[in-house]
Amino acid sequence: MDAKQWQNQMPFLPLGTIYAASLLRKNNYKTSLFDVGLKESPQEIKPVLEKEKPQILVIYDDGFNYLTKMCLTNMREACFDMIALGKQQGCTVIISSSDATDHSKKYLEKGADYIIYGEGEETLLELVTCLSENKEGINKKQETRQLIRKREEIRDENPSILLPFREISGIIFKEKDSIHKTKPRKVLNTLDDLPLPAWDLVDVESYKLIWKNSKQEFALNLATTRGCPYHCNWCAKPIYGQRYNSHSPKRVVEMISYLSKTHQVNRFWMCDDIFGLKPNWVQEFRDLLQENSLNISYYIQSRADLLLKEDTIEALAKSGLEEVWIGAESGSQKILNAMDKGTTIAQIEESTKLLQSKGVKVAFFIQYGYLGETKEDINKTIALIKRLKPDNIGVSVSYPLPETPFYEKVKDQLSNKTNWRDSDDLALLFKGTFNQEYYRKLQRYTHKEFRKTQGLTYLKKGKIITNLRAIALLGYYIPSAFMDKISLSKMENLK
Ligand code: SF4
């Protein structure tokens, strides 16, 4: 697990992985899960492989987890270790991850047999079917063959002919010395056709215990949608592209009902890039929750402009929304425009105030270091945080993700280091206005200003008893933020 995730002690289930496992199982493939998310070392898979002797080892990233988009090098190394262990056991090794898509050659050289790129479930099913039929030489997966034919429109009248690998969309593999990439797969637009994720393969109680031990209320992750149609120019969409597909509110309520009954969970992290974008989706979701007497709380990611549409905030609040993470990014309109973010500072202000007036917490994602960002823009971002008083913030620096317009702009400035080691690395990988140390300090300084503002607000509102700790910590944050500010001023001249 990522070091920062260990530290946060709020792990989420590998949702993407159990969607894929569920589809395999539905098609009668014996499927078991080794959940690396709770393991300290990839070596822990070794005794499992020795005991279970699987024919195929699938290393399948949870594509719903933002960490997997960042292509962190410690995750890559863990994957390489598992590829080696799988090959030692004679497994065919299949990888599905953003990093393997971007750096397929590296993974194939380490011994992976196939890389899945794009949306993975159906590709994996077709690949596993193809592998098992080729291996066993018998036609025992007639139904799957029909599914493949339907989806890919393979004009083959003879059902006894095995599907060649080259006709499976969305895979990369090596043949002799050359690498082959088959045509991209169309994304699924009927998400409700997928079976429910295989929650039973995960030790949910172990996850619950970690949250409980860190005194945090447990939340399970759900994905109600896939993809995002917006165009922020630093954001990568290696799996779904610009498409936005959604489960129906009915299906999501079915999942919630199941999880509430089987695991007594009533709090959810909706890990969609953008929650509830389709017109009337949120309103229908609210009504169905009420009809089914499901009293839940949940938190989401969204955009300031989207939240302001019609009665969205009202419906969200009524359906149990606890917190929204808004991609505020910057307090400078100039920077938002440069990012092609498509939102305005006025929308951030209005949506924040409206949410807070309905008792919904607001958190901001902040991003420093974008091209052209000056000291003045940075000051505007800090001023925005102090003015709107969000309940939480996440601060990062611009990260050049392959295949994005932003990456194209900075790729000539990249040094040997093109990935973060873990999610707490926060190195600026290109030449910014200031140097790396500056942005690391700026990140800490912003957190201190945020905590300082929060403590002072509690004090002003007389909310002392319930916020004793935050108020007591003012004794640390006020002088420390002051010292950081002086250091940052000195560092501005160093570059
Ligand atoms: S709205 Fe969010 S997910 Fe969509 S492009 Fe922008 S940053 Fe990416």
Full strand arrangement of the beta sheet holding 297-302: 220-222, 267-270, 297-302, 321-329, 361-368, 392-397
Average pLDDT over residues 100-124: 95
pLDDT (0 to 100) of residue 136: 40
pLDDT class of 157 with cuts at 50, 70, 90: very low
- Return the structure tokens found at 41: 């070392």
Report the range out of 52-66, 322-336, 398-412, 480-494 with the highest average pLDDT: 322-336
Minimum CA distance residue for ligand 1 atom 3: 273
Position 300: which residue type? Answer: I
* 9 φ/ψ sector (left φ>0, alpha ψ -120 to 50, else beta): left
* Nearest CA owner, ligand 1 atom 1: 230
Does residue 373's CB lie within 6 angstroms of at least one atom of ligand 1? no
Residue 210's alpha-carbon distances to 2, 205, 207, 243, 267, in angstroms, are 15, 9, 5, 35, 15
Q: What's the token pair of residue 410?
A: 């900075």
Instruction: Give pLDDT, residue 430.
Output: 83
Among protein residues, the one whose CA lies closest to atom 2 of ligand 1: 273
If one residue of 65, 232, 335 were mutated to test the ligand 1 pocket, choosing by the most ligand atoms within 8 A of its CB, it would be: 232
303 lines ligand 1 (CB under 6 A): yes
Other Cβ atoms less than 10 A from the Cβ of 350: the count is: 16
Q: Are 104 and 451 in contact (CB under 8 A)?
A: no
| Phi and psi at residue 165, to the nearest 5° | -55, -35
pLDDT digit string, tens, across residues 106-116? 999 999 999 99
How far apart are the CA of 228 and the centre of ligand 1, in A? 6
Instruction: Return the number of other C-beta atoms located less than 10 Å from residue 33's C-beta.
Output: 16
* Cα 302 to middle of ligand 1, angstroms: 9
Confidence class of residue 69 from pLDDT cuts 50, 70 and 90?
low
Q: Which residues make beta-bridge pairs with 299?
A: 269, 323
Domain 3-181, what architecture? 3-Layer(aba) Sandwich (3.40)
Residue 193: count other Cβ atoms within 10 Å of its Cβ. 10
Nearest CA to ligand 1 atom 6: 232
Instruction: Give the model confidence (pLDDT) of 409-430 as tens digits.
Output: 988 887 666 666 655 666 778 8
Q: Are 36 and 72 in contact (CB under 8 A)?
A: no
CA of 232 to the centre of ligand 1 (A): 6
Which residues are within 8 A (CB) of 323 and not within 5 positions of it... i.e. 6 or more apart?
A: 299, 300, 360, 361, 362, 363, 391, 392
The CB of 276 under 6 Å from ligand 1? The reply is no
Bigger pLDDT: 413 vs 385? 385
> Which atom of ligand 1 sits closest to the CA of residue 235?
8
pTM here is 0.88
Q: How far apart are CA 21 and CA 30, in angstroms?
A: 9
Q: Is the CB of 235 under 6 A from ligand 1?
A: yes
Where in the sequence of the chain do the CATH 3.40.50.280 domains occur?
3-181
Q: Which atom of ligand 1 is nearest to the CA of 231?
A: 5
Q: Which atom of ligand 1 is nearest to the CA of 237?
A: 8
232 lines ligand 1 (CB under 6 A): yes
pLDDT, position 431: 84
Which ranges in the chain are annotated with CATH 3.20.20.70? 219-392
Given this model, what pLDDT does residue 156 score?
A: 43
- Give the pLDDT band of residue 73 (cuts 50, 70, 90): confident
Q: What is the pLDDT of residue 70?
A: 57
pLDDT (0 to 100) of residue 63: 79
Pocket test for ligand 1, best of 270, 274, 325 (most atoms within 8 A of CB): 274
SS3 at position 252? helix
Q: Residue 160: its pLDDT value, please?
A: 40
Structure tokens that stand for 253 in this block: 């309520």
**CATH superfamily membership of 219-392:** Aldolase class I (3.20.20.70)
Angle at 16 between CA 302 and CA 316, to 5 degrees: 25
Nearest CA to ligand 1 atom 8: 235
- If you average pLDDT over residues 237-243, what whole number do you get? 81
The more confidently predicted of residues 255 and 155 is: 255
Q: Identity (one letter) of the amino acid at 343?
A: T
For 317, the enclosing helix (H) or strand (E) is helix 312-318
d(CA 415, CA 411): 9
Check if 228 has its Cβ closer than 6 Å to any atom of ligand 1.
Answer: yes
Q: What is the pLDDT of residues 261-283, one digit of tens each?
A: 999 999 999 999 999 999 999 99
Does any ligand 1 atom lie closer than 6 A to the CB of residue 230? yes
pLDDT of residue 138: 32
Cα 329 to ligand 1 centre (Å):
11
Residue 260 and residue 308 in contact, taking contact as beta carbons nearer than 8 Å? no
Could you give the angle at which helices 121-136 and 15-26 cross, rounded to 10 degrees?
A: 40
Rounded average pLDDT over 185-206: 95
Q: According to the model, what pLDDT value does residue 248 have?
A: 98
Read off the amino acid at residue 213: N
Regarding beta strands 171-175 and 178-181, do their DSSP bridges make them parallel or antiparallel, or are they unpaired?
antiparallel
Average pLDDT for the chain? 89
Percent of the chain surpassing pLDDT 90: 74
pLDDT given for residue 165 in this prediction: 79
Question: What's the rounded mean pLDDT across residues 143-152?
Answer: 47
Cβ of 327 less than 6 Å from ligand 1: yes
- Counting other chains too, the contacts that 198-201 makes at CB distance below 8 Å and 24 or more residues apart are 198/18, 198/19, 198/21, 198/22, 198/25, 198/31, 198/33, 199/13, 199/18, 199/258, 199/259, 199/262, 199/263, 201/18, 201/21, 201/31, 201/32, 201/33
> Which carries the bigger pLDDT value, residue 174 or residue 196?
196
